[in-house]
Amino acid sequence: MAIHKFKADSKSTIKKSGNLKIYWSTFIKRINYLKNDQIEVYVTDEFKTLSHKKRAQIIESVQQLALSYLDDFKAVTPSKYSEGLAVTVFCGGNQFGRSLFLDNKDFKWND
C-alpha cells in the first residue's frame, strides 16, 4: 500500500512540490559533472511550473549530491561544500537557468 501511495503522489506535481525532501529527484533527468568543477542539470518540463525558491532548493540538493560523490574520488574542501558548484540548468534542450558567477547558491532563471 505504501508503494502504491508513493507512486500516486509522485505523479502529482502539487504533492511533489509540497514535499521536495522526498520528491526533488523526480524533477531531474540527468546530471553531468564537467572537468572544470561545474555541473549541468537536465530537468523535466514540470520543473518550470515550480516557484523560484523551490527550483533553488532542488538545484542545491543536486549540488550537495554531486559534491558528496565528488568527495569519494577527489578531496573537496569545506569551503567548496558551502559555496557549491557552478550549475547550468537545461530544460527541453535549452538553457533554463544558471548559478550566478560569484554566488553558486543564487540562481538566474530564463523564464
In the chain, where the domains are located: 27-109
Contact 70, 59 (CB under 8 A): no
Q: Are strands 86-91 and 28-34 parallel, antiparallel or unpaired?
A: unpaired
**553558486: which residue's cell?**
104
Quick check: 2 pLDDT over 70?
no
pLDDT at residue 35 in the model: 85
Q: What is the mean pLDDT of residues 78-102?
A: 90
Is the pTM above the cut of 0.75? yes
